[in-house]
Structures are given as C-alpha cells and as structure tokens.
Amino acid sequence: MRVIGHPEGRFLGYVQVQVGSRVYALPVEAVPLARDDDSAQKSGFIAEGEGTDRLGILVDSNASDKDQREMIERASIDAARHLSRRLLN
C-alpha cells in the first residue's frame, strides 16, 4: 500500500479499517479541493490503480473540523465496503 500525496496537502493521521481479520491503516490528508481552474477533486475514500495499492482518504482543507470528521467517517465506511468486496468475494 502506498501513501497518497499532494503537494499542498497536510497529513492528518491514519484511520484503521478492519475487514475480517485484517486491519488497514489508511492515511488521511487534508487538501484544497476547489482549484482555480474549476477542476475540483472529491473528498472521501481514494482507491487508485488496478490493484488498488494506492489507498487513502482525502478531506477538504478549507472545511471546518466538524465537516472534516464527517468526511472521514463517511470515507471510512466506503473504505470498509470497498475492501470487503475486494477481499471477501
């Protein structure tokens, strides 16, 4: 598993997601999601690549702490769902 990375991002920590007997530590990063060129990135769980070896959670760095926590909670649920499908099917 590789850590996500963004040049303007700020690492917030890790979220542990348990699927079956495995525990995954997903990095959480706060990045500015709205950009000047109107290309906005979405917050939430990120699984990139065919083998999904690039996993993590992105939150909006301009959001309030409460909104960031809610984004992390929703993304954690999405991560558990994604990993469950990948490992248990």
Residue range 10-63, pLDDT digits in tens: 899 999 999 989 999 999 999 988 766 655 678 899 987 666 568 999 999 999
Q: Is residue 80 part of a domain?
A: yes
Residue 1 lies in a domain: no
What is the residue-wise DSSP string for 8-61?
T-EEEEEEEEEETTEEEEEEEEEE----TTS-PPPPEEEEESTT--EEEEEEET
Distances in Å between the alpha carbon of 1 and those of 4, 28, 36?
9, 14, 31
Does residue 59 fall inside a structural domain? yes
The tally of domains found in the chain comes to: 1
CA distance linking residue 74 with residue 69, whole number of Å: 9
The 10s digit of each residue's pLDDT in 62-72 is 999 999 999 99
Q: What is the pLDDT of residue 7?
A: 67
- Domain range for 84: 10-88
Q: Which helix or strand (DSSP H or E) is residue 78 part of?
A: helix 65-88
Q: Which residue has the higher pLDDT, 84 or 8?
A: 84
Give the pLDDT band of residue 6 (cuts 50, 70, 90). low
Q: Is residue 18 part of a domain?
A: yes
Residue 1 has pLDDT above 60, yes or no: no
Instruction: Give the pLDDT score at 2.
Output: 43
Instruction: Say if residue 78's pLDDT is above 90.
Output: yes
Is 15 part of any domain?
yes
In a domain, 29, yes or no: yes
Report pLDDT for 12: 94
Q: Does residue 2 lie within any of the structural domains?
A: no
Note whether residue 3 is domain-resident.
no
